[in-house]
A and B are shown apart, each in its own frame.
Chain A
């Protein structure tokens, strides 16, 4: 079991992959380390959101993911 980190939209290109498995538990500092400096820089921006277990976190810095959880990195959206 591990934590799955999912890169959505343009973050997928920056990360160079769609998803990555890391050992849990995973907090904000651990996530920033796991995704590399380029994605971590994006994560620092307010307009990038974080979801854990299918829910958007009100405070992404309070991330606490366990083994088996999915953490999704959500850049600014563009639909319609």
Chain B
């Protein structure tokens, strides 16, 4: 299989299957050899809490364009060399990756802040709906108050 190569500074994807974190980060690192630092965040389906499965649904005309706008905004705001924003949709099991965000910048602070900014917006300002299957069936997940407080930090 050909090695993954990223051709654009902003690589934004919706994935309906599992992703290889190692391969993605290696390709991102290669694509940004001018960066002084790269920060990555990997979000997973939290094991425990009686969660058997998690399903993320989206709305095609809005979700990916919204994620691309978010990546663009982060690039401008934090003067990034590049960003990788990959988000799963569909049904996932505990321990599986939901989201992978990586940011490349000249200095570490920008990279850390940008990854934080992108995650806060994916959590409560991107077009995704999440539900969990527990012993007694499926439950829709409402955004938490803390998520809105996190988002408001960037205003």
A residues bordering B, Cβ < 8 Å? Answer: 6, 8-10, 13, 51, 54-56, 70, 72, 74-80
Contacts and interface: CB of A to CB of B under 8 A. Distances in A.
Tier of interface size on chain B:
20 to 34
A77 B127 contact: yes
Chain B at the A interface: mostly helix, strand, loop or mixed?
mixed
A74 B62 CA distance: 10
A80 B59 contact: no
Interface of B: 43, 56-57, 59, 61-62, 87, 98-99, 119, 122-131, 140-143, 147
Contacts, number: 64
A77 B140 contact: no
B62 A51 contact: yes
Nearest to B126: A79
B22 to A, nearest CB: 21
A79 B124 contact: yes
Given A75-B129, A79-B124, 7 more contacts: A9-B57, A10-B129, A13-B140, A51-B62, A54-B61, A78-B130, A78-B140
A46 B56 CA distance: 23
A56 B66 CA distance: 11
Given A77-B128, A80-B98, A80-B122, A51 B142 contact: no
